[in-house]
Amino acid sequence: MNPSLPVKSFLQVRQALLARKEIALLDLREEDPFAQSHPLFAANLPLGRVEADAWRRIPRRDTPIVLYDNGEGLVQAAAAMLQRLGYTELAVLDGGLQGWADAGGELFRDVNVPSKAFGELVEAQRHTPSLSAEEVQALLDSRADVVVLDARRFDEYQTMNIPGSVSVPGAELVLRAAALAPDPETTIIVNCAGRTRSIIGTQSLVNAGIPNPVSALRNGTIGWTLAGQTLERGAARSFPDVTPQERRLAAARARDVADRAGARRATAADLRRFTAESGRTTYFLDVRTPPEFAAGHLPGFASAPGGQLVQETDMVAPVRGARLLLVDDDGVRANMSASWLAQMGWEVWVLDGMEGDFSETGSAAGNLPEPEGVVNGVGPQQLAQWLAQDAGAQIAVLDLDSSAHYVQGHVAGAWWALRSDLTAGLSRIPSQRYVLTCRDGLLARYAAAEVARLSGAAVYVLQGGKAAWRAAGLPLQQGETHLACARSDRYRRPYEGTDSPRSAMQGYLDWEYGLVQQLKQDGTHGFCVI
């Protein structure tokens, strides 16, 4: 523990949460151990990603931040990094994760737990209509008047989907429903992989007063698989455009829901005020689709498609108690997203009347810190020559990307290592010269000084990362060829992919059903379902 940092008790953190004061409770472990056990409103910021993610995820440098691990010794290093980045209000959680549990704090499993627990509360209180996998299959087999809308991200939909379903990510449902089911007698089925987005998507249509019969696919693609039914793979069906009349009607419905939920209205003057305010954290979020955002958006806003924003509040806005300012260009997606965020206890505003001001194009400009010390770069062709001439194995390539991206493609012979466990990783890979890489070179640049200190060797960074290597026409190798660390950076969700064990799928569903009771035991959530 860093002796210069103050210590915050479980009760102090809990009181801040109950009072809805700004606080970022940061779990510094990798995603897998985080997913095994953490407080409800903890946000995962692995040590190896502090420099790359902190300024974006915690924009105000004097935000109260409480750091913890579970005895791995990550707090000191993270505190030093955050102090270098300008953060001034750092504290340590008394006793770490174990201290939280010892003080009576509730611990939760999995990821994006606030959103998943909220979804279960919505179903419990609103009795969101649902149909079993067998009932939906029977409707499809009988060629009933039914459409199945998949509320997940498009890439998740492409992995596996209900046969014949259409990809309509959650925030798009109220906007697109009339175009997809123009006959009010058509039954709409909303699904995701598990439960949350099915529930929230279905209840969105109910709350907005869509005239069609609407039901969630109970337990999503997991329930479909457990019922022994076949999923489709590689589908590319997506939502259609809408007419001006459909857009106006959807906007009126969405605004009514947002107003009932307590979302606030913002003007251009409010935007200027929020931007200038130094003592309050505001997340400026564009909830349209990523292609729409890239085609034109407001300066200073980040892309946060509404369905995923509601699903992943802990990733997008780790500062609990912060303000959220949402925008779209139709009055539907921002209002529907805001309606849910308001029910989840956020101070959320919808920015109105800005449709003509989306002047900035491309991805949002990132404000990133400079790496520590001097970074020596090497180009792809030069590295290829070094490796071809390295008969004595005196050059080691270290890939610091996520393990999933390493498996998908890496420089032949490269080792995969966790930045948070470099000491152990380097002990397995002695070398006189290290070349660090990742997808774009960013994480590698931040790790260069640390690798040099730990190894005493010459350290270089592959300029442009693996993207530049690929662009130079150089080959990439696939698979788990050289792992210097365990793959703890990624929690394998029981609902993703197509090969999860049936026992894991059922266990996940059982866990979701138990979340309402856990919320009651925790007592800090502040959710209020309309």
Do 395 and 338 lie in a common domain?
Answer: no
Do 30 and 79 lie in a common domain?
Answer: yes
- The answer to whether residue 1 scores a pLDDT higher than 50 is no
366 lies in some domain? no
pLDDT tier at 347, thresholds 50, 70, 90: very high
Of 75, 110, 145, the domain-final residue: 110
524 lies in some domain? no
Q: How far apart are CA 210 and CA 191, in angstroms?
A: 17
**To the nearest whole number, what is the mean pLDDT of the chain?**
94
Closest CA to 352 of 339, 364, 370, 335: 335
Of 87, 110, 133, the domain-final residue: 110
pLDDT tier at 355, thresholds 50, 70, 90: low
Do 125 and 78 lie in a common domain?
Answer: no
Q: How far apart are CA 67 and CA 197, in angstroms?
A: 30
Of 66, 82, 110, the domain-final residue: 110
Q: Please, are residues 174 and 336 in contact by the beta-carbon 8 Å criterion?
A: yes
Mean pLDDT of 374-378: 93
- The answer to whether residue 23 scores a pLDDT higher than 80 is yes
Do 190 and 124 lie in a common domain?
Answer: yes
Poorest-pLDDT segment among 94-103, 191-200, 264-273, 365-374: 365-374
385 lies in some domain? yes
Do 163 and 264 lie in a common domain?
Answer: no
369 lies in some domain? no
How many domains does one find in the chain?
A: 4
Q: Give tens-digit pLDDT for 247-286.
A: 999 999 999 999 999 999 999 999 999 999 999 999 999 9
Mean pLDDT of 31-47: 97
Mean pLDDT of 119-131: 97
**Sequence-ordered list of residues with C-beta below 8 angstroms from that of 383, at least 6 positions apart, any chain:** 397, 411, 435, 460, 462, 469
Do 62 and 129 lie in a common domain?
Answer: no
Mean pLDDT of 515-520: 96
Q: Give tens-digit pLDDT for 157-181.
A: 999 999 999 999 999 999 999 999 9
- The answer to whether residue 445 scores a pLDDT higher than 70 is yes
Q: How far apart are CA 475 and CA 435, in angstroms?
A: 17
Q: How far is CA 341 from the centre of its chain?
A: 15
Percentage of the chain beyond pLDDT 70 is 97
519 lies in some domain? no
Q: What is the CATH number of the domain that holds 301?
A: 3.40.250.10
Q: Give tens-digit pLDDT for 218-229.
A: 999 999 999 999
Q: Please, are residues 208 and 250 in contact by the beta-carbon 8 Å criterion?
A: yes
**Sequence-ordered list of residues with C-beta below 8 angstroms from that of 12, at least 6 positions apart, any chain:** none
- The answer to whether residue 9 scores a pLDDT higher than 50 is yes
Q: Please, are residues 529 and 121 in contact by the beta-carbon 8 Å criterion?
A: yes
pLDDT tier at 501, thresholds 50, 70, 90: confident
Percentage of the chain beyond pLDDT 90 is 88
Helices then strands, counting H and E runs in the chain, come out as: 24, 20
Q: Report pTM.
A: 0.94
Q: Following CA atoms 9, 13, 14, 15 in sequence, which dihedral angle do they give, to the nearest 10 degrees?
A: 100
Domain interval for residue 87: 7-110
Do 130 and 161 lie in a common domain?
Answer: yes
Mean pLDDT of 507-513: 87
Q: Which helix (H) or strand (E) holds 216?
A: strand 214-217
* The predicted structure's pLDDT at residue 3: 56
